[in-house]
Amino acid sequence: MIAFDNRASAPQLWLDLGAGTGLFTRALVNYLPPTSKIIAVDTDAKALKQIPANVNTVSIETRMANFIEDALDVKEADGILMANSLHYVKDKASFLDKLGSLLKTNGSFLLVEYDRTRANPWVPYPLTINDAKLLFKKAGYSKFELLNKMPSAFGGEMYAAIIS
């Protein structure tokens, strides 16, 4: 589902918030320049242990933390991956303000979410594509590029977007 054009040649630092077992972490590796680094954050220590420390030439650091509440002590990240995790954040506007301080001036978000309006136990605070565009625009991000949409195994559609 992730497919974005990252033409950078210098190593990059990315955060993967809500990394779980690293499915999307490992996908992101394929789009980063050699010797880049990903910091994979999740509250599930058992899941984090499934993420390798290196894939190709990209290093992956795992951190057990609550990405919504805990300070992440990262500065100047090139990007933040949020794959199926932003829908756990109730106050998304305040949360984006917090995350903005972790990014470089030209940093990006890579977002994977369900395009739905109705909440359920697994998607408590859904974020449609249109709501995501508005949310990031209000937070000061000028570019929202929809990368892909596909049917979800759980009904409805999922989408991927790059925001800068």
Give the DSSP letter string of 50-107: TS-SEETTEEEEEEE--TTTS-----SEEEEEEES-GGG-S-HHHHHHHHHTTEEEEE
Q: What's the CA angle centered on 132, arms 126 and 133, to 5 degrees?
A: 160
Looking from the CA of 139 toward its CB, the CA atoms found within 13 Å total 24
pLDDT at 9: 82
Q: pLDDT value at position 4? A: 57
Query: Residue 1 — very low, low, confident or very high, per pLDDT cuts 50/70/90?
Result: very low
Pairing of strands 54-55, 13-17: unpaired
4 or 128, higher pLDDT: 128
Taking residues 28-32, report their average pLDDT.
94
What span, in angstroms and rounded, lies between the C-alpha atoms of 9 and 11? Answer: 6
- CA angle 60-62-67, nearest 5°? 120
Average confidence (pLDDT) over 77-106: 95
Percent residues over pLDDT 70 in the chain: 95
Q: Which residue ranges make up each domain of the chain?
A: 13-163
Inform me whether the pLDDT recorded for 47 exceeds 90.
Answer: yes
Structure letter (DSSP) for residue 115: -
Query: What is the pLDDT, as a whole number, of residue 156?
Result: 81
Question: What pLDDT was estimated at residue 58?
Answer: 96
CATH numeric code, 13-163 = 3.40.50.150
